[in-house]
Amino acid sequence: QVQLAESGGGLVQTGGSLRLSCAASGRANNPLTLTWFRQVPGKERDFVAATTWRHGIFYADSVKGRFTISRENSTGTVSLQMNSLKPEDTAVYYCAAFVGACTAVSCRDRRLYRNWGRGTQVTVAS
């Protein structure tokens, strides 16, 4: 079991930046895919970005060019640098992990992920 804890959410103005971090512990030395999802009330949890242990990196089209995902295996952390934020980026952001790799298509499937953090709120004011 991998424990995940997000941090770094908050309130920012349109066009601003935030950096989210997720600390993985437990069996974090396994070959993990680490992924960010987000969810707004009443809607499904949507894929944002993923980084696989095979160095694959994938983004949702809505964040490509604005968000950057990175991982530091020595510390077991994955970060999401979010720039040029828009009001539609407002959501609870969740970190998720599973042991293994995925493709640009399969990484988006929530059913792959057995480990989830509690989420961190990001609010972008217009």
Q: What is the pLDDT of residues 29-83, one digit of tens each?
A: 778 999 999 999 999 999 999 999 888 999 999 999 999 999 988 888 999 999 9
User: What pLDDT does 30 receive?
Assistant: 75
Nearest to 34 by CA among 13, 11, 61, 5: 5
User: What pLDDT does 104 receive?
Assistant: 93
What is the pairing mode between strands 18-26 and 77-82?
antiparallel
pLDDT at 28 over 80: no
Q: How confident is the model at residue 115 (pLDDT cuts 50, 70, 90)?
A: very high
